[in-house]
């Protein structure tokens, strides 16, 4: 037996999940996701794993398996598949989301059977999560079996058709106690909240892909006699998709268009709005801030955040809540009432699952290092031998070679996508953007008469500072023709030493 498990992203960090299972002759990729950019990333829209390692094993690559349709698992699919023409194997709902991204993909919708890719065989293992059609994958090579169960809230070990030797498991909530609530509890609570309201509109926001939650909200709305209005492109699209696929059973008459809703009484309406992380251009942000002409939040309305706050979104969400409250809107969040349950299993559930599967090896995945570390401890408590709990981080590879475990490193990292213009940036371009944003730009211009002129962007030098930097240049006695890096270096040194700044320096004639 010789199986290599590589992590190209998603362990030791949040997002960008991508794994590779590889024998001497075959390899399959599991997931290829993105990290969403935070406002500090200077125009970067998303961050993808560096897939250069795959070029070295190109001939072995057989397929890409997607566990579910969240962007931290499928967001890098198009880039990956534009570079490697591989067939996709995934669930029906994930397939629909991928088809929306591109119609050119070769997608196989999985059934409960065994798939063979060279000397690797794969079986899909159904799991529950906050998006329909979520799977774990059982990957078998030379009789050795791995269960790769990324995001899940619940899964039934009884459904496994074979003994699992190595378990790779979702660590997201490895530091959070299981609360024991289910989606049904949320459905009841939403009904209670809706029935407590007599007037005003109800706005509920969640991830559009959380189809079960949309179903709960629709159920509660129908029970209190309100109509449902989807707001936001992704909300409309995914709700329509889920209804066509029979994932939500609702009478078409209970869903009304925003245009029709405009003529109805506020007390007759529940809006399902996209933008639960306060994304500035989302439907929710534009409605809450009053930018939308046709629909504005007003006193008496209720806004429910039926979602968790992703770290990094706090500022946007708080800004939005402040705008809504300023308009007299009541806001309910997950801390106030039971309006959200996590899509990830908590400590108690994780421990029970590990104990039931009783694997020889355990590898925590999907989380920051603190989550992986807590998860490792849980696995030991659940009966896995300490030395068989293996730690894998992005850029790491674990080779299971007969009875030996070998740790290797593989080329890895991040690539940055700036969507406007379709640019792919490397680390140095992002660093340059940060430098320019923080410290500005200095252009050193050599004039035809041999004089030097300085132009600064983003800040202005005092007369004295300008004189000083000129003196510095003259004193260094630089040969100006041809223009050289030396000049830039002198100017750079001046700014660093005298002004503690590191502007981007360009030399030009
Ligand atoms: Zn997920
Ligand atoms: Zn995930």
Q: How far, in Å, are 164, 287, 316, 319, 422 from residue 279 at the CA level?
A: 41, 12, 6, 10, 21
Q: Using the mean position of ligand 1's atoms as its centre, give its distance from the Cα of residue 170 in Å.
A: 10
SS3 of 72-117: the string is HHHCCHHHHHHHCCCCEEECHHHHHHHHHHCCCCCEEECCCCEEEE
Find the ligand nearest to 16 CA.
2
- pLDDT, average across residues 285-301: 90
Q: Using the mean position of ligand 1's atoms as its centre, give its distance from the Cα of residue 458 in Å.
A: 41
Question: How many Cβ atoms from other residues are within 10 Å of residue 5's Cβ?
Answer: 24
Residue 250 has what pLDDT? 93
CA distance linking residue 99 with residue 81, whole number of Å:
13
Q: Using the mean position of ligand 1's atoms as its centre, give its distance from the Cα of residue 71 in Å.
A: 8
Residue 48 has what pLDDT? 94
Report the DSSP beta bridge partners of residue 89: 65, 108
* Sign of the Cα pseudo-torsion (246, 248, 251, 256, in order): negative
Lowest mean pLDDT among 296-300, 313-317, 359-363, 483-487: 483-487
pLDDT band at 291 (very low <50, low <70, confident <90, very high): confident
Q: Using the mean position of ligand 1's atoms as its centre, give its distance from the Cα of residue 430 in Å.
A: 27
- CA nearest to 32, candidates 59, 67, 3, 5: 67
Burial class (CB in 10 A: 0-12, 13-18, 19+), 305: buried
pLDDT band at 248 (very low <50, low <70, confident <90, very high): very high
Q: Using the mean position of ligand 1's atoms as its centre, give its distance from the Cα of residue 276 in Å.
A: 16
- pLDDT higher for 52 or 444? 52
Ion ligand 2, residue ranges at CB < 5 A: 72, 151
pLDDT band at 37 (very low <50, low <70, confident <90, very high): low
Helices then strands, each counted (H, E), the chain: 15, 26
Q: Using the mean position of ligand 2's atoms as its centre, give its distance from the Cα of residue 307 in Å.
A: 15
Find the ligand nearest to 70 CA.
1
C-beta of residue 202 within 8 angstroms of C-beta of residue 302: yes
Question: How many Cβ atoms from other residues are within 10 Å of residue 380's Cβ?
Answer: 15
Q: Using the mean position of ligand 1's atoms as its centre, give its distance from the Cα of residue 500 in Å.
A: 44
pLDDT band at 255 (very low <50, low <70, confident <90, very high): very high
Q: Using the mean position of ligand 2's atoms as its centre, give its distance from the Cα of residue 73 in Å.
A: 6
- pLDDT, average across residues 265-289: 94
Q: Are strands 144-149 and 134-141 parallel, antiparallel or unpaired?
A: antiparallel
Q: Using the mean position of ligand 1's atoms as its centre, give its distance from the Cα of residue 130 in Å.
A: 7
pLDDT band at 484 (very low <50, low <70, confident <90, very high): low
**CA angle, 15 as apex, 190 and 96 as ends, to 5°?**
65
Burial class (CB in 10 A: 0-12, 13-18, 19+), 333: middle
Identify the residue whose tokens are 């997950």: 334
- Calculate Rg over the CA atoms of the chain: 27
- pLDDT, average across residues 425-437: 89
Q: How far, in Å, are 53, 377, 379, 395, 446 from residue 5 at the CA level?
A: 13, 21, 19, 11, 56
Report the DSSP beta bridge partners of residue 305: 205
Both structure tokens of 6: 């590589």
Q: What is the mean pLDDT of the chain?
A: 93
CA distance linking residue 365 with residue 151, whole number of Å:
9
Find the ligand nearest to 365 CA.
2
pLDDT in tens, 56-67: 999 999 999 999
CA distance linking residue 31 with residue 431, whole number of Å:
28
Find the ligand nearest to 68 CA.
1
Q: Using the mean position of ligand 2's atoms as its centre, give its distance from the Cα of residue 151 in Å.
A: 5
The model carries a pTM of 0.90
C-beta of residue 220 within 8 angstroms of C-beta of residue 190: yes
Instruction: Determine if residue 443 is left, alpha or beta; phi over 0 gives left, psi from -120 to 50 gives alpha, anything else beta.
Output: beta
Which residue blocks in 197-341 are alpha helix, DSSP H?
211-223, 233-244, 258-261, 283-288, 314-326
Find the ligand nearest to 14 CA.
2
Find the ligand nearest to 72 CA.
2
């Amino acid at each position: 037996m010789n199986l290599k498990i590589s992590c190209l992203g998603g362990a030791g960090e949040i997002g960008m999940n991508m794994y590779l299972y590889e024998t001497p002759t075959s390899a399959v990729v599991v997931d290829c996701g993105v990290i969403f950019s935070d406002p500090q990333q200077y125009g970067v829209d998303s961050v993808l794993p560096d897939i250069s390692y795959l070029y070295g094993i190109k001939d072995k690559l057989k397929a890409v398996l997607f566990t579910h349709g969240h962007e931290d698992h499928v967001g890098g699919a198009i880039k990956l598949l534009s570079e490697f023409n591989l067939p996709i194997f995934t669930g029906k709902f994930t397939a629909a989301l991928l088809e929306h991204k591109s119609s050119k993909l070769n997608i196989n919708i999985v059934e409960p059977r065994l798939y063979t890719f060279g000397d690797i065989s794969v079986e899909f293992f159904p799991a529950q999560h906050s998006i329909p059609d979520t799977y774990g994958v059982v990957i078998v090579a030379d009789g050795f079996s791995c269960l790769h169960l990324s995001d899940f809230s619940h899964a039934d070990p009884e459904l496994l058709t074979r003994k699992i030797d190595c378990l790779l498991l979702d660590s997201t909530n490895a530091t959070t106690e299981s609360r024991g609530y289910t989606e049904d509890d949320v459905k009841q609570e939403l009904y209670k909240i809706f029935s407590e309201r007599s007037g005003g509109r109800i706005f509920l926001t969640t991830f559009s892909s959380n189809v079960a939650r949309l179903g709960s909200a629709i159920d509660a709305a129908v029970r209190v006699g309100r109509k449902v209005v989807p707001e936001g492109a992704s909300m409309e699209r995914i709700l329509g998709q889920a209804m066509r696929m029979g994932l939500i059973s609702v009478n078409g008459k209970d869903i009304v268009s925003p245009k029709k809703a405009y003529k109805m009484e506020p007390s007759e309406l529940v809006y399902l709005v996209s933008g639960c992380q306060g994304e500035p251009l989302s439907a929710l942000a534009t409605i809450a801030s009053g930018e939308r002409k046709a629909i504005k939040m007003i006193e008496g309305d209720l806004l429910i955040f039926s979602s968790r706050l992703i770290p990094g979104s706090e500022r946007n969400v708080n800004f939005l809540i402040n705008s809504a409250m300023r308009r007299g809107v009541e806001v309910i969040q997950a801390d106030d009432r039971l309006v959200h349950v996590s899509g990830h299993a908590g400590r108690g559930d994780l421990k029970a699952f590990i104990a039931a599967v009783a694997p020889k090896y355990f590898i925590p995945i999907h989380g920051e290092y603190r989550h992986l570390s807590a998860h490792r401890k849980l696995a030991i408590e659940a009966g896995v031998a300490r030395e068989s709990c293996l730690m894998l981080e992005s850029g790491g590879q674990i080779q299971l070679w007969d009875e030996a475990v070998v740790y290797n490193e593989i080329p890895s990292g991040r690539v940055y996508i700036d969507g406007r213009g379709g640019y792919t940036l490397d680390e140095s371009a992002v660093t340059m953007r940060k430098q320019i944003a923080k410290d500005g730009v200095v252009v050193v211009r050599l004039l035809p008469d041999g004089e030097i002129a300085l132009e600064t962007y983003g800040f202005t030098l005092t007369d004295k500072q300008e004189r000083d930097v000129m003196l510095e240049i003259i004193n260094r006695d630089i040969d100006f023709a041809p223009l050289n890096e030396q000049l830039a270096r002198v100017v750079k040194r001046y700014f660093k030493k005298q002004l503690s700044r590191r502007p981007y320096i360009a030399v030009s004639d």
